[in-house]
Amino acid sequence: MEKIIIRGGHRLAGRVKVEGAKNAVLPIQAAAILASSGNIVLSNVPLLADVATMNQLLRFLNLTVDFTTEKHQLVIDATAPVSSEVSLEYVNRLHASMVVLGPLLARTGHAKIALPAGGVDGSRPVSLQIKGLRQLGAVIEQQDGFIEAHADHLVGQRICLDFPSVGATESIMMAATLASGITTIENAAREPEIVDLAAVLNKMGARVHGAGTDVIRIQGVNFLHGCEHVVIPDRIEAGTYMIAAAVTNGDVVVEGAIPEHNAALIAKLEEMGVTVIRQDDGIRVFGTAVLIPAAIQTLPYPGFPTDLQPPMAVLQLLANGTSSLAETIFKHRFVHLKELRRMNAHFQLNGDTAVFSGPTHFRGAEVAATDLRTGAALVLAGLVADGLTQVQNLQYIDRGYYHFDQKLRQLGAEIDRVDRDDKNSQ
């Protein structure tokens, strides 16, 4: 078992390059299922564990997947007959695996997918996706630990989502590309990753309009084909480095970051006294010695992203006074705070709002990631903590951050990734 060891107290400075967006590429990989002719050729694909798991899932479905990692290029061939059953192994390893439901149903008329641990009412519910696909004419049942869907023929409908769910918007949008007639998704998610998926679908021959707004209109077509596409930069990875720069009072250019994709984060950083400069090649962040407290609420895009809430909590804890963080997307997403408490963080939880008393003098400690973004938050706290911080459970960090320790080291952090028993770690 490996761990990351950080000796805190170094300002980050320099340039860091953003990878392709994990949350864009995963649904695009799933969209490849829809292409009955030609290859889907994707560039700027991040080398992440989640991407590899989705590739394995696609191979299990009889797609041919070639990942040239040196070129960050993924070639997916879905021209052979596609099988339609996804086993628990993949679903448990990859939250996003449920997004294959829509494309599988549209391509094969059938999908049988194991229910993730916790079931449909667990931490990652799919009820909105199922409701929408039913409206398109699918018959969907849940039994024996599986969701099974059949549809001889999907028919376009007006679907109004109860909540702008990213996964539901993506899955329904993909299914609707091959439905007959017009589908309208109202109260659709507006994330940049939805826009990127729609761009790919349109290159494949689909007719999707309005992605990026809350009404998406899809005119069904008879078949879809291969295409080439460059995946957008990862706004969550970019945001994490922007926050890391602010946390260490550093000066970092996050190369390739798109300011419009991180507008909510930029607004909050500026409110806290951090300087953010929009450059042609990315975003430059200068820290400040005294951070101003801020009240933050997570919201669907373009609001403050829930995925940046854990790292942002570290910055709020460093601010000079009382800050608050209201989590409205994933209730109870506060596990990171319990780990940060080991590092001397003081906070109170009032329902889904955390109230922080700063400034915090983080102390190095042994902590464990419990999910991807908790892992990022713990590393960021380690960058400013007194003494040594040891972060375990790196498999979570590897799901979403490519070479996290190396990139931070290049920016000047004293950070190492070692085997648990490595004597150098002592």
Q: Which of 37, 68, 127, 275 binds ligand UD1 (CB under 6 A)?
A: 127
Nearest alpha-carbon partner for 136 in 85, 97, 101, 93: 101
DSSP classification of residue 155: B
**For residues 155 and 135, is the Cβ–Cβ distance under 8 A?**
no
**Among residues 8, 20, 125, 282, the one that binds ligand UD1 under rule CB under 6 A:** 125
3-class secondary-structure state, position 356: strand
Query: x/- string (CB under 6 A) for ligand UD1, residues 178-197?
Result: -----------x---x----
Residue 168 is a binding residue for ligand UD1 (CB under 6 A): yes
Check residue 163 for interaction with ligand UD1 (CB under 6 A): yes
- Best CA proximity match to 29, nearest among 69, 77, 72, 71: 77
| C-alpha span between 406 and 362 (Å, rounded) | 22
Q: Which lies closer to ligand UD1 via its Cβ, residue 300 or residue 358?
A: 300
Distance CA 79, CA 55 (A): 16
Q: Is 403 left (phi over 0), alpha (psi -120 to 50) or beta?
A: left
Asked whether position 57 contacts ligand UD1 by CB under 6 A, the answer is: no
Q: Which residue's CB is nearer to ligand UD1, number 125 or number 220?
A: 125
Report which of 381, 385, 387, 392 is spatially closest to residue 418, judged by C-alpha positions: 392
Verify cis geometry, omega within 30 degrees of 0, for the bond prior to 302. yes
* Residue 193 or 398 with smaller CB distance to ligand UD1: 193
User: Is residue 374 close enough to count as binding ligand UD1 by CB under 6 A?
Assistant: no
Question: How many binding residues for ligand UD1 (CB under 6 A)?
Answer: 22
Footprint of ligand UD1 on 12-31 (CB under 6 A): 23, 26
Which residue among 104, 128, 149, 269 contacts ligand UD1 (CB under 6 A)? 128
For residue 279, the minimal CB distance to ligand UD1 (Å) is 26
If binding is defined by CB under 6 A, does position 166 make contact with ligand UD1?
yes
Alpha-carbon 334 to chain mean position: 17
Classify burial at 153, counting beta carbons within 10 Å of its beta carbon; exposed 0-12, middle 13-18, buried 19 or more: exposed
Stretch in the footprint of ligand UD1 (CB under 6 A) among 55-63, 163-171, 209-217, 389-397: 163-171
SS3 384: helix
Would you count residue 410 as binding ligand UD1 (CB under 6 A)? Answer: no
Quick one: DSSP state of residue 115? P
Contact 22, 95 (CB under 8 A): no
**Min dist. Cβ of residue 166 to ligand UD1 (A):** 4
Of 42 and 252, which CB lies nearer to ligand UD1 in the complex structure?
Answer: 42
Exactly one of 110, 112, 124, 150 binds ligand UD1 (CB under 6 A); that residue is 124
48 binds ligand UD1, rule: CB under 6 A: no
List phi, psi (to 5°) of 177: -60, -30
Enter the tokens of residue 175. 């299914």
How far apart are CB 232 and ligand UD1 at their closest, in Å?
Answer: 12
Residues that bind ligand UD1 (CB under 6 A): 23, 26, 95-96, 124-129, 163, 165-168, 189, 193, 305-307, 329-330
